[in-house]
């Protein structure tokens, strides 16, 4: 892969600027390989004299392969690229930056955990004369197929959608990710991000609530759709929880909020979802007449359904009166 050391090749004329090591009281001294010393020696020399050339661009690629965390080499690469493309015609510039995007994609596939690449790519797209969203979607899909909850990739996807102002694929895409793993919270928050930007109609929101209900029916003990459901009511329905949704949530709780908790013989039933109970507790706590039901819900969470958070549920109970 690294057949020729750079000194022997096109950099024969460059006096390397060697890395200094072996100093007194040095900590974490690294036993560098010869390849690293030589490559970095030349890179440092070129950076110091600010050489903006094709060979310098190639060299940054080799340094990035060897030490992707070298943050300033990215800046240097960008400066070289800007300089090399400043006198190009529009078409030539498109070709040049497309080449760079191809290089980025290849690097990304080989270094899926590197996150510097995403902001670098943003910058290239911002400087591109005619960027295309369609070019970005396959690699994004591939990356999320490999690592379905990668925060940087999801963030970059949302940045792209805003940058290109194109929301047309996104609900379908979010749905495909939820379909694959109904627990994928990144997919659910992506869906909310899209919905907020699309300004849906009342009918569309009604359809959306039905969509969530189907996902909850499939797996009731899943925090993501319950959080999403509350988000829908807060963002689009002025937090007006109707009877339908209360009845829906109650389905999973064996009517535990109707039990008399004062009765020492009361036996708490098994329920299907602590999140449905928590959802109900929230709704019940909003109105004086149902405070008692909210208390019962929190008591159930505290003693049986979600006891690891007991201190939190107990603090909610003591705040309700």
Partner 1 sequence: MHTQFATEKHVKYLKRHLGLLPSSQQSHDVNKMAIIFYSLVSLSAIGIDVAKEYGSSAQWICRHRIALESSGSKVALSGFVGSLTLDIPNTNTVSLPNTLFALLVLRLLKCDEFFCSVRNRETICAFVSTCQVAEDGSFTSVLANKHFLPSPLDASDLRFCFIAVEILCLLGCRKLQDYSKYINVDKLIAYILSQQCDSGGFGSYGEPHAGYTSCALSTLSLLESLACLTDEFKELTLLWLVHRQVSDEGCMQLQCKNPFFDEEDHGGFQGRENKFADTCYAFWCLNSMNILQFNTSATLGTFESAKMYLLSRTQNTIIGGFSKNDVDDPDLYHTCLGVAALKLIEGTFNGVLFLPSAIDVSS
CB of 123 to partner 1, least distance (A): 4
The secondary structure of 109-150 as a DSSP string is HH-TT--HHHHHHHHHHHH-SS--HHHHHHHHHHHHHHSTT-
Of the two residues 108 and 184, which places its CB atom closer to partner 1 in the complex?
184
Smaller CB separation from partner 1, 91 or 151? 151
We find the least distance from the C-beta atom of residue 95 to partner 1, in angstroms, to be: 21
CA dist 226 and 162 (Å) reads 26
Least separation in angstroms between CB 28 and partner 1: 5
Positive/negative CA dihedral, 86, 89, 94, 100:
negative
Least separation in angstroms between CB 14 and partner 1: 14
Closest contact distance (angstroms) between CB of 225 and partner 1 is 11
The smaller minimum CB distance to partner 1, of residues 129 and 307, is found at: 307
Q: What whole-number distance in Å separates Cα of residue 193 and Cα of residue 167?
A: 10
The torsion defined by the Cα of 289, 275, 297 and 208, in degrees rounded to 10, comes to: 20
Comparing CB distances to partner 1, the nearer of 26 and 102 is 26
With contact defined as beta carbons under 8 Å apart, do 104 and 77 qualify? no
DSSP 185-248: HHHHHHHHHHHHHH---HHHHHHHHHHHHHHHHH-SS-HHHHHHHHHHHHHHSTT---HHHHHH
Choose between 139 and 301: whose C-beta lies nearer to partner 1: 301
In angstroms, give the least distance from the CB of 251 to partner 1.
14
In the complex with partner 1, the residue whose CB is nearer, 229 or 245, is 229
Chain position carrying tokens 């959802």: 279
CB of 30 to partner 1, least distance (A): 5
Helix (H, G, I), strand (E, B) or coil at 9: coil
Contact 121, 153 (CB under 8 A): no
- Alpha-carbon gap, residue 60 to 75, rounded angstroms: 10
Query: Which CB sits closer to partner 1, 91 or 234?
Result: 234
């Amino acid at each position: 892969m690294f057949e020729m050391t750079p000194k022997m090749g096109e950099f024969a004329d460059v006096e390397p600027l060697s890395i200094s090591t072996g100093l007194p009281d040095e900590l974490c001294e690294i036993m560098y390989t010869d390849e690293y010393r030589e490559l970095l020696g030349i890179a440092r020399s070129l950076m110091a004299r600010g050489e903006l050339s094709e060979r310098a661009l190639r060299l940054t690629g080799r340094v990035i392969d060897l030490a992707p965390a070298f943050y300033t080499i990215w800046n240097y690469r960008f400066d070289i690229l800007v300089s090399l493309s400043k006198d190009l015609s529009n078409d030539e510039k498109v070709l040049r930056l497309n080449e760079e995007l191809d290089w980025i994609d290849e690097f990304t596939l080989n270094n899926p955990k590197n996150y510097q690449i995403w902001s670098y790519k943003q910058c290239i797209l911002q400087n591109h004369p005619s960027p295309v969203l369609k070019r970005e979607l396959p690699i994004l899909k591939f990356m999320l197929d490999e690592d379905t909850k990668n925060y940087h990739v999801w963030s970059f996807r949302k940045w792209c959608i805003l940058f290109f102002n194109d929301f047309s694929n996104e609900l379908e895409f979010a749905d495909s990710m939820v379909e694959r793993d109904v627990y994928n919270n990144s997919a659910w928050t992506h869906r909310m991000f899209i919905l907020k930007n699309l300004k849906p109609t009342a009918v569309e929101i009604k359809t959306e609530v039905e969509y969530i209900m189907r996902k909850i029916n499939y797996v009731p003990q899943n925090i993501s759709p319950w959080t999403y459901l509350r988000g829908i009511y807060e963002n689009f329905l002025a937090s007006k929880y109707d009877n339908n949704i209360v009845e829906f949530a109650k389905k999973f709780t064996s009517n535990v909020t109707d039990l008399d908790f004062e009765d020492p013989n009361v036996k708490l039933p098994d329920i299907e979802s602590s999140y449905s109970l928590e959802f109900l507790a929230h709704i019940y706590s909003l109105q004086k007449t149902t405070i008692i039901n909210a208390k019962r819900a929190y008591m159930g969470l505290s003693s049986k359904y979600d006891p690891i958070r007991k201190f939190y549920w107990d603090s909610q109970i003591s705040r309700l009166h």
